[in-house]
Structure 1
Amino acid sequence: MMSDMTAMEEFEHQFASLSADITSKINDIPKKHGNEKKILVNTAEKQMDEAQELLEQMDLEVRGIPAKDRQKYSTRVKSYQTELTRLEKDLRRSKIAFTDLETGRDELFGLEDVQSSEDQRTRLLDNTERLERSGRKLEAGYRMTVETEQIGQDILDNLHRDREKINNSRQRLRDMDSTIGQSSRVLNTMLRRIIQNRFLMIFLGLVVVAVIILAIFFSVKKHK
């Protein structure tokens, strides 16, 4: 358990560092031009991918955490996912927030007409908003899937505990059956000995009676 917590803390530290660096680059992108700007955008996008991989690793770690602590860390991962989604949105906006008209035309569509570039950028923003709405729906579906998986895991844990209880009860019943069997064998042995003793006592009684009768018989005969 401590190992899982340590791994989660390390992942959270890495994510915090990455998100801070990404935020810094997003703020600097609109101030850059040409190749320098492309390099900064590419670096930020790579860091976005790294942050997403970190979130996936966190999600796997959360599944291995005991149930009593799992919900707390699951909520954290969801908040990190929300933050990364916000950063992706800010990055898309920063890429089209140009500081000079010429760079804006070159980087968006390569057009020479200023008004056309602005129209294209407006449509791009609209498309971006639609993509973000779709992303939010996908995220909601993902959260529902994770919650369903969590419920399923809890049910499996409960079934596992119930199975252990049933197996323990079954073992106790086997032990009781064995004890009862041994007791039954002891009782049967005692009963046989009692019956044998009774027959022996009857036999001895008959012998004693026979001896008494013979003694009386010979005594009477002797007197005669």
Structure 2
Amino acid sequence: MDTSPTALFDSYEQDFQQFIESIRDKLEGSGKDEVGEQRRATLRRVEMDIDEADEMVSQMEIEIQGIPQSLRTSYLSRLKSAKTSLTTYKKSLTDVRATLARTELLSSSSKSPSPGLGGEYPNTDDPYTSDRSRLLAGTNILEDGTKRLQESQRIALETEEQGADILTNLRGQREQIENARNTLWRADTAIDRASGTVKKMIRRMYQQRAVTYAIITVLILLIVIIIWEKLSG
């Protein structure tokens, strides 16, 4: 397992690029020619991919704080590039949705009027009836699009709140880890000081013991000399 300070950033960036590739394919590649409900379903998946990519950017912002200053400049540039790509595809999604709604509105307007009461078609000679039908159809499409946009906004707000909670928890955990590291550092310093004090005490003990042995030796020598002098006298 890679434990370098940039490993998690690189991993999140790789996941981000995968989401971006999926978004690009759905908006500009294989999903570009889809129509109707199939296209709307694809755009909902694009929105989910954008939410996931946004979360990866948030994680990259967190991890960049732990990257050494000597390496941070290049990673800040990569983070800025990721944010720019994400903003571009968010705007593209909005534009595609607007285009789809406009296309559906025009398509609905070009269709034949729906049968009126009694199963008969309205009189095409009456322009007011035809305009009213097209207006009602367009209003229904706009209301449906508004509801979908409101639902998407609600999901985005919920996701943002969840992301904020996750970021808060991660910051709290980081602070706890830093506090624990500082505590360990202070404990290690205290242990080093205590170890030095014990060594000094042991050294003094040996010195005192050596002095004691020297005094005892001198006393024994004096006693031996005194006894020898008495015996020889």
Scaled by the length of structure 1, the TM-score of the pair is 0.64
Aligned partners of 2:155, 2:92: CA distance in 1, in Å? 14
Scaled by the length of structure 2, the TM-score of the pair is 0.63
Residues 1:11 and 2:19 are matched in the alignment: no
Aligned partners of 1:113, 1:104: CA distance in 2, in Å? 10
Gaps of 5+ in 1: 23-42
Aligned partners of 2:147, 2:16: CA distance in 1, in Å? 33
Residues 1:165 and 2:178 are matched in the alignment: yes
Aligned partners of 2:175, 2:201: CA distance in 1, in Å? 38
Q: Between Structure 1 and Structure 2, which shows a larger proportion of helix residues? A: 1
Equivalent residue for 1:196? 209
Aligned partners of 2:135, 2:23: CA distance in 1, in Å? 36
Q: Deviations over 1:87-133 (max 9, x none)?
A: 342133023121xxxx5224899651144453243233334444444
**Secondary structure at 1:161's aligned position in 2?**
helix
Aligned partners of 2:143, 2:39: CA distance in 1, in Å? 24
CA shift for structure 1 position 198: 2.6
Q: Map residues 4-153 of structure 1 onto 2, 5 A cutoff.
A: 4-14=15-25, 15-17=27-29, 20-21=32-33, 43-65=35-57, 66-67=60-61, 69=79, 71-98=83-110, 103-106=111-114, 112-114=121-123, 115-153=128-166
Q: Deviations over 1:36-71 (max 9, x none)?
A: xxxxxxx43312312321332343244234226364
CA shift for structure 1 position 86: 0.8
In terms of mean alpha carbon deviation, does 210-219 or 188-197 score higher? 210-219
Q: Deviations over 1:3-59 (max 9, x none)?
A: 33542442243112367535xxxxxxxxxxxxxxxxxxxx43312312321332343
Aligned partners of 1:145, 1:131: CA distance in 2, in Å? 21
Equivalent residue for 1:33? none
Aligned partners of 1:73, 1:163: CA distance in 2, in Å? 34
Structure-2 change in CA distance of 1:75 and 1:108 (3 Å): farther
Gaps of 5+ in 2: 1-9, 62-75
Aligned partners of 2:189, 2:158: CA distance in 1, in Å? 46
Q: How large is the RMSD of aligned CA atoms in angstroms?
A: 3.6
**Secondary structure at 2:33's aligned position in 1?**
helix
CA shift for structure 1 position 135: 4.2
Query: What is the count of residue pairs matched by the alignment?
Result: 196
Equivalent residue for 1:31? none
Aligned partners of 2:116, 2:231: CA distance in 1, in Å? 144
Task: Please tell me the residue identity of whatever aligns with 2:40.
Answer: M
